[in-house]
Amino acid sequence: MQDGGSAAELLVAGTDATYEAGFRSGDYARAEDLLQEALRRARADGDRATEAGALDRLGWVMHFRALDGNRADADTEAEESLFQQGLAIRRELGDPATIAASLFSLSLVHQVLRRDAAAAMPYLWQALDLADAHADVLLRSECHRHVGFYYARDDVQPEEAVRHFQVSLELRHEWGDPRWIPSGTFVLGMAQLGAGRPAEGVALIRQAVAESRDAGLSEQRIEGMEDWLRRAEAGESPWRA
């Protein structure tokens, strides 16, 4: 790939291409090419911050691909290695916002792919504290979202789950990218079901389906929400108190 621009510009483009693939197209080839070129140029230029960012985002390409496919087949060790390499550089540079991002990325490997909350939460608690103090609203939203999953599934506290998912959704609205909002609405609806408020839960899941269609999200994402809407309307709850 010979796209013009600096390593940092390629990182921004590769990050957006990753989100576009994850939420809409499912085609990660361009994202990976952009990020690999960003990594190559960053190393050639001695741009350590962009090098760390490219390593982290290449891990996210792997993560989104795993979410789209069979998570049991994910190469968690390779993904974790990319995140650890990025974290090591970011610790050297000492920027708390990017350290928070890498810690959050590492928490995902354990929480989402390995289903190991005990391994995930030390990373996630650190990420949340740093993100709330230093990071942008999207990373803060993601940290609160995954703390919500912890309270929904592991240390079961339905009202804490609802609270963190609500904060996460509000931060997504503040970020303003319509690709990110439906997943926030959806998971808050799921949490309301789990907290014993089916009417609120069904309404939010129905809203998430509409938001997904308006945002042009992939049929795979929409179908998953529609399936849960049918189940919720039939009285099923994902995380019953």
How do residues 186-227 score in pLDDT, each as one tens digit? 999 999 999 999 999 999 999 999 999 999 999 999 999 999
pLDDT of residue 151: 97
Q: Closest by alpha carbon to 38, among 78, 77, 10, 67?
A: 10
pLDDT band at 15 (very low <50, low <70, confident <90, very high): very high
> Which residues are within 8 A (CB) of 152 and not within 5 positions of it... i.e. 6 or more apart?
158, 161, 190, 191, 194, 238, 239
pLDDT of residue 145: 98
d(CA 211, CA 202): 14
Any idea what the Cα angle at residue 132 is, between residues 127 and 133, rounded to 5°?
Answer: 100
Instruction: Give the burial string for 203-228 (b: 16+ CB within 10 Å, else e).
Output: ebbbbbbebbeebebbeebbeebbeb
Residue indicated by tokens 């990071």: 135
What is the reported pTM?
Answer: 0.95
Alpha helices in the chain (DSSP H): 7-20, 29-45, 48-68, 76-93, 96-108, 117-134, 137-153, 158-175, 181-194, 198-214, 219-233
Domains of the chain: 1-135 (1.25.40.10), 137-235 (1.25.40.10)
pLDDT band at 241 (very low <50, low <70, confident <90, very high): very low
> Which residues are within 8 A (CB) of 160 and not within 5 positions of it... i.e. 6 or more apart?
148, 151
Sign of CA dihedral 15, 18, 24, 28: positive
pLDDT band at 239 (very low <50, low <70, confident <90, very high): low
Q: Kindly state the average pLDDT of the residues 80-98.
A: 98
Tell me the percentage of the chain whose pLDDT exceeds 90: 93
Sign of CA dihedral 99, 27, 72, 112: positive
pLDDT in tens, 120-175: 999 999 999 999 999 999 999 999 999 999 999 999 999 999 999 999 999 999 99
Q: Kindly state the average pLDDT of the residues 173-186.
A: 98
pLDDT in tens, 31-51: 999 999 999 999 999 999 999
